[in-house]
Structure 1
Amino acid sequence: MFGILLSALNAALAFLVRSVIVKFAVFFCLFFITTEFMQVLVSSGLFPSAGGISSSLGSIPAGVWYFLDLFNVSAGIPLVLSAYATRFIIRRIPVIG
């Protein structure tokens, strides 16, 4: 009986160490590197800020702005641009992309 319990505990511990802990450490490192790399890029001024987009949207006439506001374009454009920038960055990381 003790051998069966020891074997089950050994199998559970092996699964935990091989798959859960190692994957957690690898993905945490990738997440940390990605977030810190993006902070360095944003602080160095390599990416444009969202203020330029909102100021360019301010010159649109009221008749057109009604339909753009109806579809919430002012929130969608920065969202799409940040998604494209994130996709670009993730594809440049050799381990992920």
Structure 2
Amino acid sequence: MPLFAIIASVLNAALGFVFRASVVKWATFFALWYVVTEFVVAIKSSSFFPQVSKLNEAFSGIPSGVWYWLDLFAVSEGTPMIVSAVAARFLIRRLPVIG
């Protein structure tokens, strides 16, 4: 009988940890992720940000020598990463639901 009590105690402690800590944290972070993605969709679909229509004309004025270095340093891949990181930092620090 004592072996059964030890196994039951270990199982109770393990399940208590899983349901008290892991599941609650997962649900909380899933809810935060969902709220953030919906905020981003709402901000993106609204007219909050100005539409830039002359962007192609601005980039066409850059000489080919400069384009070589921009491509060499992978600016076209890095710029969206930096912009999304700054937006995520803003959302985490400034919105009360998230941060």
Indicate the residue corresponding to 1:89 in structure 2. Answer: 91
Q: Tell me which of the two structures has the higher relative contact order, counting C-alpha pairs closer than 8 angstroms and 6 or more residues apart.
A: 2
Q: Give SS of 1:63's match.
A: helix
**% same residue:** 51
Indicate the residue corresponding to 2:11 in structure 1. Answer: 9
Corresponding pairs, count: 96
CA offsets 1:39-67 (integer angstroms, 9 cap, x no match): 11001132457x76962323201122111
**Any stretches of 5+ residues in structure 2 without a counterpart?**
none
TM-score (norm 2): 0.79
C-alpha separation in 2, matches of 1:90 and 1:47: 19
How much has 1:91 moved relative to structure 2?
A: 1.1
Structure 1 position 78 matched with structure 2 position 80? yes
Structure of greater Rg: 2
Structure 2 contact 70–76 (Cα < 8 Å) conserved: yes
Structure 1 contact 57–74 (Cα < 8 Å) conserved: no
Indicate the residue corresponding to 1:37 in structure 2. Answer: 39
CA change 1:41–1:95 in 2 (3 A) is: closer
Structure 1 contact 68–74 (Cα < 8 Å) conserved: yes
CA offsets 1:53-87 (integer angstroms, 9 cap, x no match): 96232320112211112112222223212221221
